[in-house]
C-alpha cells in the first residue's frame, strides 16, 4: 500500500540539471579553478558539501569553497524566474494526490531556491510538505533528506516511494528503505539507473504519468 510519494525536484520535476552544471563550472572558473562540465553534470544531485569534493582537486585550498558556493548561488539565481517544469510535472503531483497519496518534495535546495522551484511547478494544491537543505545534516546520497520527507509525510518507509532522476537519488532512497522510481531527465542512462537499483525507469515525467496505473506509485 503506497500512502506517500516523495519527489526529488531538481532534474526530476524541474529542468535544472544542466543549469547547475554550467553555473558550477562558471563559479569554479571565477575562482581560478578548472572544472570539466561533464564531471560537474555527474555530480549534480549531491549537495555542495559533497559536490565540490567530487569536481575540484583534493589538494585545493578549501578556504575558498564557501566563495565558490556563493558564486554558484548567485549565477544560478539568475535563472529562477525562467525555470521550467518538465511536461506533466504538475499533473503528476496532482494525480498522485488525487489517488490519496501524500505528496512531499524531498529537495536539498536552499529555502530561497526551493521557493523558485515551487513557483515553477505551480502545483501547491497537491503538495503536502517539502524539505530544504538547512534542515538536514548531510545531502544525498546520504538518506537524511529522504528520511525527513518520510517524517513530513507521516508514513513508514514500506508505504512510500521516492521519485528521482539520478543514481544518487536511488542510493539515498535505498538507504532510507524506499524503492526509487526514476525518469530519464537528469542525463543518467536507463542501464545506469537500473544498475543503481531503480525499481522502474520511465522516459519522462509525462511517460510516468501515462503509466501511473501500473507503476510502483499506484496506491
Residues 6, 153 contacting (CB under 8 angstroms): yes
Per-residue model confidence as pLDDT tens digits over 34-68: 999 999 999 998 888 789 999 998 888 889 999 99
| pLDDT number for residue 216 | 96
**What mean pLDDT do residues 102-121 have?**
94
Degrees, nearest 5: CA angle 75-29-36: 100
pTM of the model: 0.94
Q: How much is the pLDDT for 61?
A: 87
Position 140 scores a pLDDT of 83
Domains present along the chain, CATH in parentheses: 4-16+83-214 (3.40.50.1000), 17-78 (1.10.150)
The per-residue pLDDT for 209 is: 98
pLDDT of residue 144: 94
pLDDT for res 132:
84
Cα(64)–Cα(127) distance, rounded to whole angstroms?
Answer: 37
pLDDT, tens only, 152-190 = 999 999 999 999 999 999 999 999 999 999 999 999 999
The pLDDT value given to residue 65: 94
Pairing of strands 200-202, 180-183: parallel
Cell numbers describing residue 56: 575540484
Give SS3 for 150: helix
Q: pLDDT value at position 211?
A: 97
The predicted structure's pLDDT at residue 109:
87
Q: What would the grid cell of residue 202 be?
A: 520511465
Amino acid at each position: 500500500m503506497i500512502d506517500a510519494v516523495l519527489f526529488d525536484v531538481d532534474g526530476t520535476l524541474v529542468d535544472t540539471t544542466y543549469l547547475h552544471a554550467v553555473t558550477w563550472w562558471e563559479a569554479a572558473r571565477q575562482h581560478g579553478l578548472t572544472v570539466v562540465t561533464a564531471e560537474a553534470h555527474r555530480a549534480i544531485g549531491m549537495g555542495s558539501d559533497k559536490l565540490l569534493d567530487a569536481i575540484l582537486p583534493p589538494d585545493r585550498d578549501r578556504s575558498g569553497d564557501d566563495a565558490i558556493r556563493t558564486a554558484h548561488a548567485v549565477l544560478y539565481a539568475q535563472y529562477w524566474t525562467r525555470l521550467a517544469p518538465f511536461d506533466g510535472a504538475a499533473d503528476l503531483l496532482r494525480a498522485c494526490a488525487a489517488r490519496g497519496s501524500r505528496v512531499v518534495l524531498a529537495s536539498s535546495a536552499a529555502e530561497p531556491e526551493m521557493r523558485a522551484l515551487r513557483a515553477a511547478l505551480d502545483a501547491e494544491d497537491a503538495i503536502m510538505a517539502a524539505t530544504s537543505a538547512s534542515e538536514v545534516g548531510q545531502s544525498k546520497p546520504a538518506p537524511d533528506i529522504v528520511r525527513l520527507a518520510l517524517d513530513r509525510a507521516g508514513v513508514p518507509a514500506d508505504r512510500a516511494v521516492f521519485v528521482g532522476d539520478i543514481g544518487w537519488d536511488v542510493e539515498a532512497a535505498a538507504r532510507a528503505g524506499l524503492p526509487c522510481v526514476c525518469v530519464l531527465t537528469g542525463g543518467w542512462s536507463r542501464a545506469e539507473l537500473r544498475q543503481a537499483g531503480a525499481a522502474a525507469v520511465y522516459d519522462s515525467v509525462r511517460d510516468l504519468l501515462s503509466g501511473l496505473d501500473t507503476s510502483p506509485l499506484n496506491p
